[in-house]
Amino acid sequence: MTTENNEIFHHDTDIDVTHKINSVELNNWMSHLKYIKKELVNLIGLCTNELNGKLDDAEVIERFNKKKSENEILLDALVKYSNSRIDIAECEDTQCDMVYIKEHESYRRSYLYHLDKYRRLKDEFFNKAQGKFSLLS
């Protein structure tokens, strides 16, 4: 089973299908984290340049910078994990496959936790910013 070809065929085993779906999912996670990285750069720039003094909250920039660092750490971990998945083709038994599946589940939980925390931080920022600018109008 190779992870390069993610097309699902009728003759694929359930394990092959799971690995292929996990590969697609992993690529989506990495793509999303790359987008979040760009978005955080924009939000930090916005807070630093455009809203500096108007937002009156230095903690926001600090929290965005921390989230940017956490995002980079998770993205790096997923890239390393993705590179390690080439060895899936070497699995000869279910036990080996299950190691990869359990590892994927662990990364899924980490990704979803990170995403939830990022969304909450962003919502909090926009709620604060909206409140401040509503008062200025």
SS3 of residue 85 by DSSP? helix
Total of domains in the chain:
1
pLDDT at 55: 66
Distance of alpha carbon 33 from alpha carbon 74, whole angstroms: 8
In a domain, 1, yes or no: no
| pLDDT, greater one: 56 or 104 | 104
Distance of alpha carbon 134 from alpha carbon 136, whole angstroms: 5
Instruction: Categorize the per-residue pLDDT at 54 as very low, low, confident or very high, splitting at 50, 70 and 90.
Output: low
In a domain, 8, yes or no: no
Residue 85, token pair as written in the block: 């998945």
pLDDT at 4: 58
| pLDDT, greater one: 56 or 108 | 108
Instruction: Categorize the per-residue pLDDT at 46 as very low, low, confident or very high, splitting at 50, 70 and 90.
Output: confident
| pLDDT, greater one: 93 or 134 | 93
In a domain, 67, yes or no: yes
In a domain, 33, yes or no: yes
Is residue 3 pLDDT above 50, yes or no? no
Instruction: Categorize the per-residue pLDDT at 20 as very low, low, confident or very high, splitting at 50, 70 and 90.
Output: very high
Q: What residue numbers bound the domain in which 28 lies?
A: 14-136
In a domain, 40, yes or no: yes
Which H or E element spans position 6? none
In a domain, 3, yes or no: no
In a domain, 7, yes or no: no
In a domain, 88, yes or no: yes
